[in-house]
Structure 1
Amino acid sequence: MVLLETESGSGYDLLKRFKQRLGFFWQASHQQIYQQLKVMHQAKLIDCTIEVQQGKPDRKIYAMTQAGHKELLVWLNKACKPQKINDSLLVKLYGGHLVDKVVLLDEMRQHREQHNKALYIMLEIEQQYQSLSHHERKSLALPFLTLRRGILGEQAWLAWADEVEAFLSSQKSSSTDFR
């Protein structure tokens, strides 16, 4: 609903915007987004118009209704519970004494690649933001602060990964050395 508040669009448009703007912080599959659009449309929180296309299937364009806007404001005014971490890598590391350190180092390197990629993209977005006019930056200040949280989170993860990898690299190969 947050994405529809500022700009209407098709399910595909919303999926694209979601991945570009919120995908670093919230995970949703293609199916989840379309299911949620259906639920919100049935609840009259969003409207749907059909856009006829030449040589392609018609597009459904979704837009926020007044009821949807009110519902979004109710949600925005409610306090969120702090999110708990469900990170299987942390569980693997916790039980890492049962495997050879090479297994853990390989997994850390794979995760590092993903976190480096995410950080790179976020830093590029930050540069784009910094190149905007003062007025444009002001209107995007809150999304920018969300981006900053993502950048700091990725930097912290990478610093932690340095510690883990340094420790693992200093250990002998036997899994029993961690006990």
Structure 2
Amino acid sequence: MRHAILVLLQDQEASGYDLAREFANSIGLVWNATHQQIYLELGKLNEQHMVSYRHVPQEGKPDKKLYQLTDEGRAELIRWLKKPAGPARIRDAFMVKVAGGQLADTQSLLSELEQLAKQRRERLATFEALAKRLDDEGLEDNLYNYLTVRRGILDQRAWLQWAEEVRQTLEHASVGSATS
């Protein structure tokens, strides 16, 4: 997560709240983090002199901390970017449910599948709108963000295609077992 935060801070300073919003809207395509995780990591990065912050007074609220990348943080980010990434780890509880589906109620699986498909369609729409915005703003300034969003779009489309196959297969299997 530390490198995801450093990536988000590479071009501009941001508050913890801003970073959480960016995790939800952009880097969240590939890395999830809670507010608590972000603030905890910001504290560690600050202790390691990879980020620094300045206080910004706010009316009627506590001061806001705006974080920025330090030279040490930029050097760490560059070092990390040069290293090969390890294989992606997948943790998908629904896939485990599908794997154990012979013990499950098919209708429950189908219902959960439809809920997840709805979420994926919403995420796809968000990603497509973001890709269009990045394209409209000019890819020369947004190329790497655009490429990341495109991956998110393709992931959502592939998942939805798989979900349709699962739905059809389970519905067909249910009809076949009901007539046996």
With normalisation by structure 1, the TM-score equals: 0.91
Check if 1:36 corresponds to 2:41. Answer: yes
Q: Partner of 2:27 in structure 1?
A: 22
Q: Answer yes or no: is the 8 Å Cα contact 1:4–1:63 preserved in 2.
A: yes
Shift of 1:68: 0.8
Three-state SS of the structure 1 residue aligned to 2:30 is: coil
Bigger drift between 34-43 and 80-89 goes to: 80-89
Q: How many percent of aligned residue pairs carry the same amino acid?
A: 36
Secondary structure at the aligned position of 1:48 is classed as: strand
Indicate the residue corresponding to 1:141 in structure 2: 143
d(CA) in 2 for partners of 1:87, 1:173: 28
Whether 1:71 and 2:71 are equivalent positions in the alignment is: no
Give the CA deviation at 1:107. Answer: 1.1
What is the CA–CA distance in structure 1 between the aligned matches of 2:134 and 2:101, rounded to whole Å? 41
Which residue pairs with 1:81 in the alignment? Answer: 86
8 Å contact kept, 1:100–1:173: no
Residues 1:161 and 2:166 are matched in the alignment: no
Structure 1: which amino acid aligns with 2:32? Q
Aligned residues of 1:102 and 1:173 also touching (Cα < 8 A): no
Q: 52-61 vs 63-72, which deviates more?
A: 52-61
State the shift of 1:7 in Å.
0.7
Q: Give the aligned length.
A: 173
Report the TM-score when normalising by structure 2.
Answer: 0.91
After superposition, give the CA deviation of every residue in 1:33-75 in whole Å (9 maximum; x if it has no partner). Answer: 0000000000111111111122211111111111111011111
Per the TM alignment, residue 19 of structure 1 is displaced from its structure 2 partner at its CA by 1.5
CA distance in 2, matches of 1:58, 1:11: 12
Task: Tell me which residue corresponds to 1:171.
Answer: 173
Structure 1: segments with no counterpart, 5+ residues: none
Cα deviations by residue, 1:70-99 (Å, 9 ceiling, x for unpaired): 011111111110113211111111111112
Unpaired segments of 5 or more residues in structure 2?
A: 1-5
Larger RCO: 1 or 2 (CA < 8 Å, sep 6+): 1
Structure 1 partner of 2:136 = 131
CA deviation digits over 1:74-128, x for unaligned, max 9? 1111111011321111111111111221011011111101111100101111221
Q: Judge which range, 157-166 or 16-25, deviates more.
A: 16-25
Task: Give secondary structure in 2 for the equivalent of 1:83.
Answer: coil
What secondary structure does 1:60 align onto? Answer: strand
Return the alpha-carbon distance in structure 2 between the equivalents of residues 69 and 9 of structure 1: 15
- 2:20 and 2:35 in contact (8 A); partners too: yes
Q: Hey, what's the Cα distance between the residues in 2 that align with 1:53 and 1:88?
A: 42
d(CA) in 2 for partners of 1:111, 1:52: 42
Pick from 147, 151, 154 the counterpart of residue 153 of structure 2. Answer: 151
If each structure's helix is expressed as a fraction of its own residues, which one has the higher value?
A: 2
